[in-house]
Homo-oligomer: A and B are copies of this chain.
Amino acid sequence: MKRIGIADTTFARYDMAAAAVDELNKQGGGFTIVRYTVPGIKDLPAACKILFDEQKCDIVMALGMVGRQPVDKDCALVADYGLQLVQANAGKHILGVMVHEDEADDDAGLATLFEKRTREHAINCYDLLFRPEGLRKRAGTGQREGFADAGPIRVK
């Protein structure tokens, strides 16, 4: 039984974890989910480390929202750095799902983006654990999570 950690924040303005859990359950079985909520994205790396070490998770989804201000973009860089540190030490994946508040023009667009990106990364998460050959088949095909896929380069 694989253990999937889901780390999220009170800072985010959308319940990303609910979407992640729902989409994972649609993929199949064979896993348990472990939740962990922290205040903000800079707290996600330590949460992931705890999910790996204490909760024996095999993979973690780290869900967050990035604000519009320059200081928020710096936050995201620091958080990303922390997520790399934890992955490099653990030898396990952390799928970072970050939605920037300025990626959509209104709340409805933002909500759609939160749903889509989280769910598409939940599928990636399930694939990394159970269907790596599915990822292999999509190598180099321009997949995107959230917005439409870019698709492969057209070479005449």
Listed in ascending order, the chain A residues whose CB lies under 8 Å from chain B are 8-18, 35-39, 42-43, 45-47, 49-50, 53-54, 71, 73-74, 76-78, 80-96, 100, 107-108, 110-111, 114, 121, 124, 128, 132, 135-136, 138-145, 150-156
Contacts and interface: CB of A to CB of B under 8 A. Distances in A.
A132 B36 CA distance: 8
Number of copies of this chain that the complex holds: 5
A35 B136 contact: yes
A118 to B, nearest CB: 10
A46 B80 contact: no
Nearest to A154: B107
A4 to B, nearest CB: 15
A16 B140 CA distance: 7
Nearest to A70: B73
Given A10-B138, A140-B13, A94 B46 contact: yes
Given A84-B81, A92-B46, A108 B155 contact: yes
